[in-house]
Amino acid sequence: AAGVIQSPRHLIKEKRETATLKCYPIPRHDTVYWYQQGPGQDPQFLISFYEKMQSDKGSIPDRFSAQQFSDYHSELNMSSLELGDSALYFCASSLGESQYFGPGTRLTVL
Amino acid sequence: GQQVMQIPQYQHVQEGEDFTTYCNSSTTLSNIQWYKQRPGGHPVFLIQLVKSGEVKKQKRLTFQFGEAKKNSSLHITATQTTDVGTYFCADSNFGNEKLTFGTGTRLTIIP
């Protein structure tokens, strides 16, 4: 069965650079979520989209933005990167109760 | 804001022993979901509990939802090495919405 695809899987950036993370949800799933997981922490909700419209927003810095495109893939754009942005970024998609998580993008900011 | 705590934070058990993690919320939970995250992996959905007092079983795993819908537990009978990972409870905010994860319990198995 198709799963959530995320790219890239690993990303290394310098401080103040920008990064773009991509997510391809499971076909026909109508909701996409982005989560940030720091080392040894639980995933923290950033933002979600339902049918390509932003549906909810969590503790997402103003430096971050996201959108969902007509083909349902989503991108998380991160600017002016800080050391504290180093984390695992998960995308998840859903068509109801449960959320299906992608393998994540590990972002390292040097 | 809502806080979802889990205890213990870490649990080391001998293979074959039982394991339980407890999830407690500062507010009434709408639904509770449980996820497992293997080391280096991503959260994987295990189950959702909706009703007060609900109990569900999946082979060696037993999930309970408290009567007041403010707590939940996951019990694993006769642990195996494949059970290694971090178990998270999560409030799904009435379903199909953002997850508020608990702090997680990291289970390690001593062979």
Contact A34, A90 (CB under 8 A): yes
- Count CB pairs under 8 A between chains A and B: 48
Percent of chain A topping pLDDT 70: 100
| Least CB–CB distance from A97: residue in B42, B48, B103 | B48
A97 has a pLDDT exceeding 90: no
Domain of residue A81, CATH code: 2.60.40.10
The secondary structure of A25-74 as a DSSP string is: PPTT--EEEEEEE-TTS--EEEEEEETTEEEEE-S--TTEEEEE-TTS-E
Domain that holds residue B70: 4-110
Indicate the average pLDDT of chain A: 95
Q: Burial code of A84-103, b = ≥16 C-beta within 10 A, e = fewer?
A: ebbbbbbbbbbeeebbbbbb
A30 has a pLDDT exceeding 80: yes
Count the Cβ atoms, other than its own, within 10 Å of residue A33.
Answer: 28
pLDDT (tens digit, 9 = 90+) per residue, A46-62?
999 999 999 999 989 99
Min Cα distance A97 → chain B (Å) is: 5
| Count of domains forming chain B | 1
Distance separating alpha carbons of residues A107 and A82, to the nearest angstrom:
11
pLDDT for the residue B94: 67
The token pair that represents B6 in the structure block: 């889990």
Checking DSSP bridges between strand A74-78 and strand A64-68, what pairing results, if any? antiparallel
| Count of domains forming chain A | 1
| CB within 8 Å of A74: residues ≥ 6 apart | A22, A23, A25, A32, A34, A49, A66, A67, A68, A91
Tokens 């989209």 sit on residue: A49
pLDDT for the residue B92: 85
CB contact under 8 A, A97 and B101: no
Contact B6, B102 (CB under 8 A): yes
The token pair that represents A72 in the structure block: 């349902």
Average pLDDT over residues A41-49: 96
Count the Cβ atoms, other than its own, within 10 Å of residue A31.
Answer: 21
Domain of residue B54, CATH code: 2.60.40.10
pLDDT for the residue A2: 83
Instruction: Say how many CA atoms lie within 13 Å of B23 toward its Cβ.
Output: 34
Domain that holds residue A83: 5-109
Distance separating alpha carbons of residues B22 and B62, to the nearest angstrom:
12
Closest to A74 (Cα-Cα) out of A13, A29, A106, A43: A29
Best A33, A98, A106 residue to mutate vs chain B (most B CBs within 10 Å): A98
Q: What is the pLDDT along chain B (111 residues), one digit of tens a residue?
A: 678 999 999 999 999 999 999 999 989 988 999 999 999 999 999 999 999 999 999 999 999 999 999 999 999 999 999 999 999 999 987 655 889 999 999 999 998
**Which residues in A have their CB inside 8 Å of a CB on B?**
31, 33, 35, 42-45, 48, 56, 58, 90, 92, 94, 96-104
Chain B residues with CB-CB distance to A48 below 8 A:
97-98
Chain B residues with CB-CB distance to A97 below 8 A:
31, 33, 48, 92, 95-96
CB proximity B42 to A under 8 Å: yes
C-alpha angle B18/B20/B21, rounded to 5°? 155
pLDDT for the residue B97: 81
Chain A residues with CB-CB distance to B56 below 8 A:
none
Q: Burial code of A50-66, b = ≥16 C-beta within 10 A, e = fewer?
A: beeeebeeeebeeebeb
